[in-house]
Chain A
Amino acid sequence: QKEVEQDPGPLSVPEGAIVSLNCTYSNSAFQYFMWYRQYSRKGPELLMYTYSSGNKEDGRFTAQVDKSSKYISLFIRDSQPSDSATYLCAMSEGAQKLVFGQGTRLTINP
């Protein structure tokens, strides 16, 4: 079993839809949870950063962490074609190496 599981997709939705991306994990020591967005031929770009359980909102993006279920989510509201990218979840125990999910390839259709 992988330490972090993420549905690789691909996921295709119409413009304006609400997108839900999810990851599950097995290591209860993870404390820091991140979502990265990666456009084709670019490095990962930090999108959301959350410590421990709870919600965090930034514009159209909301990150949720449920440590009791070992489950994290990223919601994108009013999705735009420019949101089309691969989204990677990542986690760490502290100021250490990140463990990444496989990445979900998302396409927003105009």
Chain B
Amino acid sequence: SAVISQKPSRDICQRGTSLTIQCQVDSQVTMMFWYRQQPGQSLTLIATANQGSEATYESGFVIDKFPISRPNLTFSTLTVSNMSPEDSSIYLCSGTGGVVKFADTEAFFGQGTRLTVV
């Protein structure tokens, strides 16, 4: 399986500020995704991070609020902009479609970033 590292693992931020979360995969993956998980809830897809082009956002999520970068096949960032307490959640990145290591559709997750906005 792939190892996906996320930084930071947790943060407490002031409202109105922005936080950038980094996701590093130990092998090349075709697809990377960003999810949000509210406490006690399931995962909601925010966007698909596309290498070298703009991310594809799901309904209810916009680029101005959640800008995403993906400069190569092993790294992506998600920024939560102009934060409010409603953004308090766990943010998870996921990789799938391993170029070398694992099956095309097996998706692996980072440990998550626990964000609290005060």
Cα–Cα distance between A34 and B104 once the two chains are bound (Å): 13
Complex contact B43–A100 (CB within 8 A): yes
Cα–Cα distance between A100 and B4 once the two chains are bound (Å): 19
Cα–Cα distance between A77 and B80 once the two chains are bound (Å): 42
Residue B48 CB within 8 A of the other chain: yes
Cα–Cα distance between A51 and B43 once the two chains are bound (Å): 21
Interface residue stretch chosen among A11-19, A56-64, A67-75, A87-95: A87-95
Encode contact with A along B47-62: 1 for CB under 8 Å, 0 otherwise. Answer: 0100000000010000
Complex contact A94–B105 (CB within 8 A): yes
> Which residues of the partner chain A approach B31 to less than 8 Å between Cβ atoms?
95-96
* Chain A proximity of B107: nearest CB distance (Å): 6
> Which residues of the partner chain B approach A98 to less than 8 Å between Cβ atoms?
33, 43, 45, 94, 107
**Contact count band on A:** 20 to 34
* Chain A proximity of B100: nearest CB distance (Å): 15
Residue of B whose beta carbon sits closest to that of A49: B106
Residue B118 CB within 8 A of the other chain: no
> Which residues of the partner chain A approach B67 to less than 8 Å between Cβ atoms?
none
Complex contact B107–A43 (CB within 8 A): no
* Chain B proximity of A105: nearest CB distance (Å): 8
Residue from B30, B48, B105, B110 within 8 A of A43 (CB atoms): B110
Complex contact B104–A95 (CB within 8 A): yes
Q: List 8 A-B contacts (CB under 8 A).
A: A43-B92, A43-B109, A51-B105, A92-B107, A95-B97, A95-B105, A97-B58, A98-B45
| Top-10 shortest CB links A-B | A43-B109, A43-B111, A100-B42, A32-B105, A95-B97, A102-B42, A100-B43, A43-B112, A44-B109, A95-B104
